[in-house]
Homo-oligomer: A and B are copies of this chain.
Amino acid sequence: MRVGIFGGGQLAQMLVQAAISLGVEIVICERVPDSPAARYTQHTVVGPWEDEAVLAAFARRCDVVTLENEFIDAHLLRRVEELGTPVWPSPATVAVVQDKLWQKERLVVAGLAVPPFRAVDGPDDVLAAAQAFGWPLVLKTRRNGYDGYGNATLRGPADVVPAWERLTRGGSPLLVEAWVPFTRELAVMVARRRDGTTAVYPVVETVQQNHICHVVYAPAAIAPDTAITATELAVAAIQAVDGVGIFGVELFALADGHVLINELAPRPHNSGHYTIEACATSQFEQHLRAVLGWPLGATTMRAPAAVMVNLLGQRNAPINTDAIVAALDVPGAHMHFYGKRDERVGRKMGHVTALGATLRDAEAIARRAAGLVAMPV
């Protein structure tokens, strides 16, 4: 069985790792050779996704096609289907999810709680939204935003025009959201098959640093009612978009116990990396099972607590192997290095997961290892 993946980054790389256990081969379709995932498969199609010959070569080599990021035009996914290869999540799901306006509209129609939002066509629309929502506001690109690229928090009218100019550079239309006074950011991974069967992972807490996921606590130290609400919202959201595959659902927990959906990701998600060691089935294996229509695996945790810390680049330079090696000396630290050739400030270079009897125990191990990787040379 061969699964094709649009994209060759670390998410595709970890999908390859999971595929090995399943006897599933992976075909990577990426614009450039030597992507992190392409190093671990004999099947690679290199070229622009918009090139019909590239799409045809890719579709021909795969039994099913999926993606590791949502920044692909849905019409290209539809073209793969026309060429005879199924695509999961479906092009229709990706089209809805990749547009943050459409995504939120779909969630609202399904009766799910999201922060107030509206489409904006110019700075005046943003100022008008501020009348309704109050300051601060969050201005976002509808498409192609990730890790804070494509986001701006507006604290008052003076922030509007600079943010507008910066965010519209990529050509995507924008939307604006009310700023939510959340007490915690939560995330839930949900896997769903085309027959509607779902498997849900524990609710985790994510802590961002400069809009980039930095630490994940599994399970989140929240009230049971909040966990139930978050889980129900997450499953309902993936049903609402008719998702097939694994999805990351980011949520806001408010002081009053309410939970709102922030964003969906139609793919493995940084907040689910902990599942590799901490759960009976990793999010990556689960994604492959889901898109192949195979039985979903158990999502139970194998330890009371797990903490994941992202290894974010500290400087712009070729990767420092010595710093990587030092971190291997921390017992219980599960290191993941993505093999990126160059370190860049803020770039996700890898992650470390530790299990423990408590979140505090696990965090101490993970942070110690992460600290050794980040040490100056």
Flag A10-54 by CB within 8 Å of B: 1 or 0 each.
000110110011111100000000100011111110000000000
Task: Confirm or deny: A83 has a beta carbon within 8 angstroms of a beta carbon on chain B.
Answer: no
Q: Are A328 and B41 in contact (CB under 8 A)?
A: no
CA distance A13 to B1 in the complex (A): 17
Task: Confirm or deny: A338 has a beta carbon within 8 angstroms of a beta carbon on chain B.
Answer: yes
Task: Confirm or deny: A256 has a beta carbon within 8 angstroms of a beta carbon on chain B.
Answer: no
Given A39-B42, A321-B1, A325-B294: A16 and B20 within 8 A (CB)? yes
Task: Confirm or deny: A148 has a beta carbon within 8 angstroms of a beta carbon on chain B.
Answer: no
Flag A119-158 by CB within 8 Å of B: 1 or 0 each.
0000000000000000000000000000000000000000
Q: CB-CB < 8 A to A13: which residues of B?
A: 20
Name A292's closest neighbour in chain B (CB-CB).
B325
Flag A347-364 by CB within 8 Å of B: 1 or 0 each.
000100001000000000
Name A42's closest neighbour in chain B (CB-CB).
B39
Given A16-B40, A40-B40, A321-B1: A332 and B23 within 8 A (CB)? no
Q: Are B324 and A23 in contact (CB under 8 A)?
A: yes
Least CB distance from A279 to B in Å reads 11
* Size class of the A contact interface (CB-based, 8 Å): 35 or more
Q: CB-CB < 8 A to A42: which residues of B?
A: 34, 38-42, 44
CA distance A40 to B12 in the complex (A): 13
Within 8 A of B (CB), among A275-291: 280, 289
Least CB distance from A354 to B in Å reads 10
Least CB distance from A201 to B in Å reads 14
Task: Confirm or deny: A337 has a beta carbon within 8 angstroms of a beta carbon on chain B.
Answer: yes
Q: Are A331 and B297 in contact (CB under 8 A)?
A: yes
Q: Which of B1, B24, B300, B338 contacts A23 (CB 8 A)?
A: B338
Least CB distance from A237 to B in Å reads 25
Q: Are B41 and A355 in contact (CB under 8 A)?
A: no
Q: Are B23 and A40 in contact (CB under 8 A)?
A: no
Q: CB-CB < 8 A to A267: which residues of B?
A: none
Task: Confirm or deny: A189 has a beta carbon within 8 angstroms of a beta carbon on chain B.
Answer: no
What are 9 A-B pairs at a CB distance below 8 A?
A1-B321, A21-B334, A21-B336, A22-B337, A39-B42, A280-B331, A295-B325, A295-B329, A302-B355
Interface residues of chain A, those whose CB is within 8 Å of chain B, are 1, 13-14, 16-17, 20-25, 34, 38-44, 280, 289, 294-295, 297-298, 300, 302-303, 319, 321, 324-325, 328-329, 331-332, 334-339, 350, 355
- Given pairs A40-B40, A41-B41, 14 additional interface contacts (CB within 8 A): A14-B20, A22-B335, A23-B339, A25-B39, A25-B339, A39-B42, A42-B44, A280-B331, A289-B328, A295-B329, A297-B328, A297-B331, A302-B302, A302-B355
